[in-house]
Homo-oligomer: A and B are copies of this chain.
Amino acid sequence: MRQGSDDDVRRFFQLLRPPELADLLEHVAEEDRVRVLRLMGVPLASDVLREVEEPEKEEILEDLTPREIAEIAAASKSDDAADLIAALPPGKAEDTLGKLGREDRREIENLLRYPEESAGGIMQTEVVKVGSDATVEAAVEAVRGADQERMGEIHEVYVVDPAGRLVGAVSPADLLQAEPGTPVKDIAEADPVSVPVTLDQEKIAETVVEHDLAAVPVVDERGVLVGQVLHDDVADVIEEEATEDIARFVGADPDEVHGESISRAVRSRAGWLLPAFAGGLLVTFVIGSAEALLREVPWLAAFLPVILGMAGNVGTQTSALTVRGLALGRVRVGPAIRRQLVTGVLLGIIFGLLLFAFAALRGGGHPALAGLTVGVAIFISMTVAAAMGVSVPLLVHRFGFDPAVAASPFVQTANDLTGAAIAILVTRWLLLG
């Protein structure tokens, strides 16, 4: 690409679609990216830039002038334009907004007021709408007048009352099937599913998935239509939320997947590791208090890690499944607890018997008694871990917190503590009477 003339490069662009060009741009050497983007021209650059991922997007925006960014923003859908401005440092954002037309500027500033993960933060303001007294013909005219190049594909024409409140929705296919003279409200779906402008994006995704929508209208507190969220933005949200759930579950910042700074990554992970560490320190006291016992039965020290580790594994399995079930709305409290308890007991029996057999065959003093001790200890520890793995996320959820964030470190700390205590108590009880 470096050797080709500008015309060669432009001809090459025509062979590819915007997402492919975005991939290509991410792999081009940093110093060539802006040159390539400039060769695309504004409309194509707008389509390509919205598909470029972090951190490459930020690097490109650094190298573009405010005037160039303003031109690209003016050719983009309102939500993509707002995302561009939001990714700029404050001074450059101000400069770029200053280069935009008054209308575009007002619209973008308006969108930037909403939280990034709310309906207002992800919606586009471009909609096709008609009054409630319009005919099918008028609705067709409204579609004809819309700039699909800029606003994206049209999935719904919204029907609004004189105050701008949403009262209906009709698809272009419905319009094609209807007679031109029919009043549009006769064929429109009345009171279509909509979302409030303040709704969190996770709830929007739930609504869209539940009702199989290609586009969901966004309304303000008075019911006035202010924008729409399209299926492709919803698909992005579902992926993003799944990444968040996974990252939070292991105590990492979701942005780590997208390459955020190492110092932020370390801070967020260290914060999450701290409760587990504190639990580990308490474990040192629990085991330390049994120093006399460990002198008497030194093999117990060798078995503690496998007992604590297996309890930790079952606890992690159980809490991960419970957290995901809660996210999908597929958990009923009673049956979930019963299920996980029975599963934990069965797994405890399996690995209790295996550990008993292993310890009994391993030799050393009183091998059968040693086997019984560690077998019973791992059985109780795994059962307790399963019980905590299901009940802690449910409790955290019941009190209105995100179970993915809170459940895991608590479960882990509690498991380490109870596992160590159980192992020591069982040993005392079985060996020392």
Contacts and interface: CB of A to CB of B under 8 A. Distances in A.
Interface residues of A, number: 106
Copies in the complex: 2
A13 interface: no
B324 A243 contact: yes
Interface in A151-190: 152-155, 171-177
A280 B310 contact: yes
Contacts of A53: 330
A88 interface: no
B266 A347 contact: yes
Nearest to A362: B284
Interface of A is mostly: helix
A69 B283 CA distance: 58
Contacts of A342: 262
A309 interface: yes
Interface in A216-246: 230-232, 234-236, 238-239, 242-243, 245-246
A52 interface: no
A266 B343 contact: yes
Interface of A: 17, 19, 51, 53, 140, 143-144, 146, 148, 152-155, 171-177, 193, 205, 208-214, 230-232, 234-236, 238-239, 242-243, 245-247, 249-252, 256-259, 262, 265-266, 269-270, 273, 276-277, 279-281, 283-285, 287-288, 291, 294-295, 298-299, 301-306, 308-310, 312-314, 316-317, 320-321, 324-325, 328, 330, 335, 339, 342-343, 346-347, 350-351, 354-355, 358, 362, 412, 416, 420
